[in-house]
Structure 1
Amino acid sequence: MIDKKWASAADAVADIPDGASLAVGGFGLSGNPSALIEALLAQGTSGLSVVSNNCGVDDWGLGLLLGAQRIRKMTSSYVGENKEFERQFLSGELELELTPQGTLAEKLRAGGSGIAAFYTQTGVGTQVAEGGLPRRYAADGSVAIASPAKDVRTFEMHGQPREFVLEEAITTDFALVHAALGDRHGNLIFNKAARNFNPLAAMAGCICIAQVERLVEPGELDPDQVHLPGVYVHRVVEVGSDIEKRIERRTVRPSTGSGNGEA
């Protein structure tokens, strides 16, 4: 389908079933596909396996799905500011596959590029490679599921033998992403740091659903400015530029013009 515009976020996520796997863009709360997440929450989809850098906060982003007990497993690089994420994991309610951040990015990129696996030095000599990282706890606090050991091989690099650990690529049933601009063909442009994991998540999803702040006609985007080509995107929903955006923690510095040091 050339025209990939969908009428609403609810329509775009309506066929995501219980138990589906999702790759979700965002870093902290920057670039979160919040409208798509809220639509998924409203329709009641549960048992989800989600791949995302983190899981939002307690009342925003993926934290909404987590708080409603809709997520079965998270694959993330850190727990972040989400206390409910921590609670569910430590109580055995949630499975968590902690993955180094750069490795997570490359696993998504590899999946979208048709690369089944790759070797990296990241994690060599740790439980990332040797196994034993808790993935799910039992009710009594013991480890119910631990990560398996991974293949480690030696390759020569820069004239020196070095060990590398094998990491498998990630692909998911669906991807949910946020972009600043998009056209009806699915070409996307992201805004500065909000690009983060969004292109990688989009690549890894078999069906990618993008919410865009502004939708334009084909030909209006400068091809040299497109960050993600429409070949990776299957559905586009316009959500408006006034969509609510949040940050995890607001910090300020003293005003340079203030004599008393107040912000």
Structure 2
Amino acid sequence: MNKVFASAAEALSGLVRDGQLLAVGGFGLCGIPEALIAALRDSAVKDLTVISNNAGVDGFGLGQLLETRQIKKMISSYVGENKEFERQYLAGELQLEFTPQGTLAEKLRAGGAGIPAFYTRTGVGTIVAEGKELREFDGQTYVLEHALLPDVALVKAWKADKSGNLVFRRTARNFNPAVAMAGKVTVVEVEQLVEVGEIDPDAVHLPGIYVQRIVVNATPEKRIEKRTLTVKEA
């Protein structure tokens, strides 16, 4: 099975559709699949429900899809610095399901592990628990949370081999592994692509069984200007 696609647009072609549940890895600005988000924007799909810790900032990351009104609902842990996210939510133009950050990560991890639901104390006694099943264990009340199983997962990794074995780097190793595991179909954007066998098995962060499509985007690495700041500049 050939998992490698020539471009982000080709990797999403025939895969993303109106009304789907998508999960996007990263943490706002860190470790996000920039090329895949741009291709999603250009595809003009709409009415998406998107799972992501937050939605980037205005005009960057998922903020682009908010500006084009392609997202109808966000499942996230906070609004962050995205003014358009805040405006749409307060104006009633965007549905929002707030989820505590650790619970969001566990809902994705559970989905990838085949666990349909789990109990947690997080959110008990708050609006997070409203309408959800509560149960007592050892004298403590817990709320039932259901796993997330997105139709498509978009993730960012540093390196992959052609079988989809992934290595994450620095802050990209945040929500990306859990998002990749949870997706029914996972598309990964990488900076480096190598042949099968070139990645030491002990260095693999996520096995290729979870990855169906791969696209190379080396531009993030190229566009960063590296220089040493003087004390005065800092």
TM-score normalized by the length of structure 1: 0.84
- Aligned in 2, Cα 1:17/1:101: closer, same or farther, shift over 3 Å? same
Identity of aligned residues (%): 59
Q: Which runs of 4+ in 1 moved over 6 A?
A: none
Partner of 1:195: 173
- Aligned in 2, Cα 1:94/1:242: closer, same or farther, shift over 3 Å? closer
Aligned to 1:172, the other structure's residue is in SS state: coil
Question: Counterparts of 1:176 and 1:206 in 2: how far apart (Å)?
Answer: 11
Question: Counterparts of 1:245 and 1:80 in 2: how far apart (Å)?
Answer: 25
- Aligned in 2, Cα 1:162/1:244: closer, same or farther, shift over 3 Å? farther
The structural deviation recorded for 1:163 is 1.1
Mark the structure with the bigger radius of gyration: 1
- Contact 2:28/2:61 (<8 A) preserved: no
CA RMSD of aligned residues (A): 1.6
Aligned to 2:5, the other structure's residue is in SS state: coil
Partner of 1:168: 146
The structural deviation recorded for 1:162 is 1.1
The structural deviation recorded for 1:242 is 4.0
Partner of 2:135: 153
1:79-123, CA deviations, whole angstroms, 9 ceiling, x for partnerless residues? 001000000001011000000000000000001111000000101
Question: Counterparts of 1:230 and 1:30 in 2: how far apart (Å)?
Answer: 23
- Aligned in 2, Cα 1:18/1:203: closer, same or farther, shift over 3 Å? same
Question: Counterparts of 2:76 and 2:222 in 1: how far apart (Å)?
Answer: 24
Q: How many residues end up aligned between the 2 structures?
A: 229
Residues 113-152 of structure 1 mapped to structure 2, 5 A cutoff = 113-129=113-129, 131=130, 149-152=131-134
TM-score normalized by the length of structure 2: 0.94
The structural deviation recorded for 1:171 is 0.4
- Aligned in 2, Cα 1:231/1:37: closer, same or farther, shift over 3 Å? same
Point out where structure 1 has 5 or more consecutive residues left out of the alignment: 132-148, 247-252
Question: Counterparts of 1:154 and 1:25 in 2: how far apart (Å)?
Answer: 33
- Contact 2:159/2:168 (<8 A) preserved: yes
Point out where structure 2 has 5 or more consecutive residues left out of the alignment: none
**Correspondence 1:227 to 2:205:** yes
- Aligned in 2, Cα 1:111/1:239: closer, same or farther, shift over 3 Å? same
- Contact 2:73/2:95 (<8 A) preserved: yes
Aligned to 2:151, the other structure's residue is in SS state: strand
Question: Counterparts of 2:89 and 2:169 in 1: how far apart (Å)?
Answer: 33
Instruction: Find the partner of 1:180 among 140, 158, 162.
Output: 158
Question: Counterparts of 1:65 and 1:109 in 2: how far apart (Å)?
Answer: 25
- Aligned in 2, Cα 1:17/1:244: closer, same or farther, shift over 3 Å? farther
The structural deviation recorded for 1:28 is 2.1
Alignment-mate amino acid for residue 161 of structure 2:
D
